[in-house]
Structure 1
């Protein structure tokens, strides 16, 4: 199978999985409307999707550093879909938390191994990884539309229909895994040339934490915030959430292209600086201009996304799966841990007051990126194949990537 075909199928499969990350926030207004959940309660549901993911995803990353587990891709895709599909079946808050957490485990299991497979299929190309990330962003963007089409017509009792994308995604990854079987075997026994830069990786991870707090905080509350600002229109809130995810799709592709012209650290640094201003506009500037700032914020947060994943891999060339599990999982999920705090502040004051501190987060990411070097791309050594397989030997053996 040609590289472009593999990346295309993996990107679509990535979209099918990340629908279930976006679906959690997309279901929040319906949980509030049908079950009268408080802001703190719906924040707890977002936390349920994030908490297990934050713990489990690095574990799967460590495992993929030791063994290839391609079977995880279809299995975890189905698990992510089943959890969300069951979230509207019972009125029990405890059961809802449990099945949403189950979906989070599925999403967590998917990303480190899919990152490894995608980088292997792309031979380490920044642009290809950008397209792979684009798939995930499109999944996020489609989530509010899909949820609205299903749930708005018949209520939460129709959530079992949301399992359909999972079935499609699981089927799409199978031909890619078969095609890459021989390629993975050809890289067996190679080692990665390059030293781990743990200090830079820690600073990178802190920057990703700050990004995560902004993105998950906004994805949880931007729909409700926009509804308040636009005179109670649920359609306005759904549109804002859709734009938040759609802007991420634009940012992912743009990030890979910009990194081919400038280095990844520079592109990420300037993206975060611009994002700080756009978040301020989103929170404080009234009227329809809010939609523009939602798009700018989303693009600014996602331009560095795939770049941060490959930076993490290059800072830890001997532990690429671990790096992927942390940058895609642990750090990204921290935002879910902060989300209940935002909800609690909003319950006591207002959503605008609760969202205002998010302006500081991209500014902190910018400061952290000012201290980071651009790493050299690690090389694979030992028994490097000749001819057509030689290109594979120039990408890390145990690669990555939401």
Structure 2
């Protein structure tokens, strides 16, 4: 297996001649299923809070459990698969998510709810590094576009979760979560197809004559000193922190914010959450292809710092404007991640799994930590005050000015 590792790195780094549409569609569809099942946890928060008499801190602990699990394992899995590819790990990851979903439907205690969240986190940890690698392999050299399409699948799934919860779970109870096992089975089938293609790809690469690394387009591109690469990765992680800590406040507590401030129903709040998440899915499609054309840095700069005026206004407007601003924030802010991820992959083109695992893992970790910290703060000061506080986070987008200008 070790003999395939250098050729794998080369195959990842080198642009392919054509975009593999079927593989990209399958990995995007499976991302939709994976993240839809994750978002069912978020959509269940009002029900779980009532059934188990949970505090906001305990709600945050659920988010922390599955996101911290994913955060810790993703870089390790990415590093491992850079060295030893594991094509059929993807469907096994979806099986873990399926088990977490079924346990969530019937968990009789808060402890088992946390165990269910952990299984979902493990599934995501297995899924994201390898699926991001495969999206890049299938890109035909259009790396930003492929990552954006891949991310749209995940964001669309995240948006669908609250809508399905409002239509199915709220009227029928928590056990109806088990009905979505069928979606997980579809995801397993899609990932089995992707894994088969990936295994064939690895075999074809192993059969090719080894070429020197200097022949790789990615290897011959602009190379930054290792110290500069570490500095740039640090800046990108600060940007991930600002984005996902802020998003944690919106995605985990938006329904509670609307219910407490405007006295809307649970279903109405779920529809507002759906609108925000759907806007996020739409915005995701913009960042990658625009970055392919004009460079990643302008996209990163505009998507994080550009959302600051809307974020600062959100806690102080009425219900109608809250909905409008949340949609704008979701659309603009979501364009950042694909550009950040591809920027980082271009810094380290022979460590795609490691980079993907690091950034997905850090994003999950910041989301989980944000949800936990903000939940404790909400218990002590109120959810409206939390929204006032986090509105300043997008101002950290100013550090994007420190990123080197690199060609797309």
> Normalising by the residue count of structure 2, what TM-score does the alignment of the two structures yield?
0.87
1:370 aligns with 2:398: no
- Structure 1 position 84, deviation (Å): 2.3
- Structure 1 position 222, deviation (Å): 0.4
1:5 aligns with 2:5: no
Aligned partners of 1:7 and 1:198: how far apart in 2?
A: 30
**Which residue number in structure 1 is paired with residue 7 of structure 2?**
none
Is 1:10–1:132's contact at 8 Å kept on the other side of the alignment?
yes
Is 1:150–1:161's contact at 8 Å kept on the other side of the alignment?
no
Gaps of 5+ in 2: 1-17
User: Which residue among 285, 288, 295 is the counterpart of 1:253?
Assistant: 285
**Which residue number in structure 2 is paired with residue 400 of structure 1?**
none
* CA deviation profile, 1:257-295 (whole Å, cap 9, x unmatched): 322332111111011122112222322212211111111
Is 1:268–1:304's contact at 8 Å kept on the other side of the alignment?
yes
Q: Superposition pairs for residues 3-402 of structure 1, below 5 Å? A: 3-125=20-142, 126-188=144-206, 191=213, 193=219, 194=223, 196=226, 197-364=229-396, 366-375=397-406
- Structure 1 position 186, deviation (Å): 3.7
Task: Point out the more displaced range, 99-108 or 158-167.
Answer: 158-167
- Structure 1 position 69, deviation (Å): 1.4
> Normalising by the residue count of structure 1, what TM-score does the alignment of the two structures yield?
0.88
Aligned partners of 1:331 and 1:177: how far apart in 2?
A: 25
Is 2:261–2:384's contact at 8 Å kept on the other side of the alignment?
no
- Structure 1 position 376, deviation (Å): 5.2
Gaps of 5+ in 1: 378-402
* CA deviation profile, 1:218-269 (whole Å, cap 9, x unmatched): 1100011112233231122101211221111111111123223321111110
SS at match of 2:403: coil
* CA deviation profile, 1:100-155 (whole Å, cap 9, x unmatched): 11111111110001111111011341212211111011110111122233321221
* CA deviation profile, 1:318-357 (whole Å, cap 9, x unmatched): 3221110111112332221122221122112211101222
- Structure 1 position 9, deviation (Å): 1.4
Equivalences, count: 376
Aligned partners of 1:182 and 1:90: how far apart in 2?
A: 40
SS at match of 1:91: coil
SS at match of 2:402: coil
- Structure 1 position 175, deviation (Å): 2.4
* CA deviation profile, 1:41-73 (whole Å, cap 9, x unmatched): 111111111111111111111112112112121
* CA deviation profile, 1:196-215 (whole Å, cap 9, x unmatched): 52221121112112111011
- Structure 1 position 2, deviation (Å): 6.6
Is 1:141–1:243's contact at 8 Å kept on the other side of the alignment?
yes
- Aligned CA-pair RMSD: 1.9
Is 2:66–2:121's contact at 8 Å kept on the other side of the alignment?
yes
Is 2:70–2:364's contact at 8 Å kept on the other side of the alignment?
no
**Which residue number in structure 2 is paired with residue 382 of structure 1?**
none
Aligned partners of 2:85 and 2:400: how far apart in 1?
A: 32
Aligned partners of 2:249 and 2:240: how far apart in 1?
A: 14
